[in-house]
Chain A
Amino acid sequence: MGQILKPKLPSDEALVARVKEGDETALNTLYERYMEKVYFRIGGQVPRQDVEDVTQEVFLALVRSLTTFRAACSFSTWVNSLINKKVADYYRRKYSRKEVNWGYGEQGQRHHQPAREKEVMVKEILHRLPKHYREVILERLAEGMSFKEVADSMDYSLEAAKSLYRRALDAFRKEWGEI
């Protein structure tokens, strides 16, 4: 008694089906649902000044390729794979323009690096880590997910997610050097 029934929100997949039919409202709902999630996920991987550009690339690619989306995986998994692809493209472009300088100087000097350079270093090291290490660090530290949420999202047991996280931090520390 007194139970308030919340209206059931349409699933991502139902919204995708409507966008495929040209429904702008459904596109808007999907956009509202995913905008910040995509933005912050990209923000954890590319320097701040480029986050908007890469976010735009991801969303445009999403609309252009929606017709190829099949419900073989969840929509959020599909969005994440698009993000990974666009971030990889971003670093490929950077490498090809020789903008990345891996020689940061002596490891001990990193303490004195300005915050902006530290940000770039953290993101570039993260990008060099294996994908599952990068994922678990982003989910924990950029998106603030609990271990339980990380485990669910990556389809791991709780213990396996914790262990993966520690290994990922170790790998990061090896790349970073002295803290």
Chain B
Amino acid sequence: MTLSSRRLEEKLEDLIRQGLTTPAPGQSFKNRLGEDLRRELEARKSGWIRAWVIDAVIGRALSDLKFRRDLLEDPAAATSRAGFLLSPVELAAFKDMSEEMVEAFSGALDQRISKKVDHGFDDGPASNI
């Protein structure tokens, strides 16, 4: 690159750099946006259904008879006592649950486990069973 073309490039870089210079964001803007994001996350959480949470609660209901009774009677209190933090939508999913539904789920789970045993577990060494 010749000296004059290098000088031209530097001039162009200066021009672009000046055009691109942006003052740093103000603290009040940063705080306000941070708060907006927190509220957005909160709003979205209320509509979430997390499969692993549902599975964990049902798993506990299958193995713990007292928890199952409590869950059917008052899902909010039972899950809160057991340390599960459920969104309103997740709670609503348990509000209409009946004993039969838990039993049906238990039956379906038994079938899935039997199938795994028949065909061999694919996610762990057989020697560990």
Contact = CB atoms under 8 A, between A and B. Distances in A.
A92 interface: no
Contact of A141 (B20, B23, B38, B40): B20
Interface in A37-81: 39-40, 43-44, 48, 51-52, 55-56, 59-60, 63-64
B18 A35 contact: no
Contact of A115 (B18, B23, B30, B34): B18
A147 to B, nearest CB: 13
A130 to B, nearest CB: 16
Contacts of B42: 24
Given A24-B38, A52-B29, A64-B40, A122 B22 contact: no
Contact of A43 (B16, B22, B45): B22
Given A22-B48, A137-B16, A179-B11, A31 B34 contact: yes
A128 interface: no
B4 to A, nearest CB: 12
Interface in B16-33: 16-25, 29-30, 33
A36 B41 contact: no
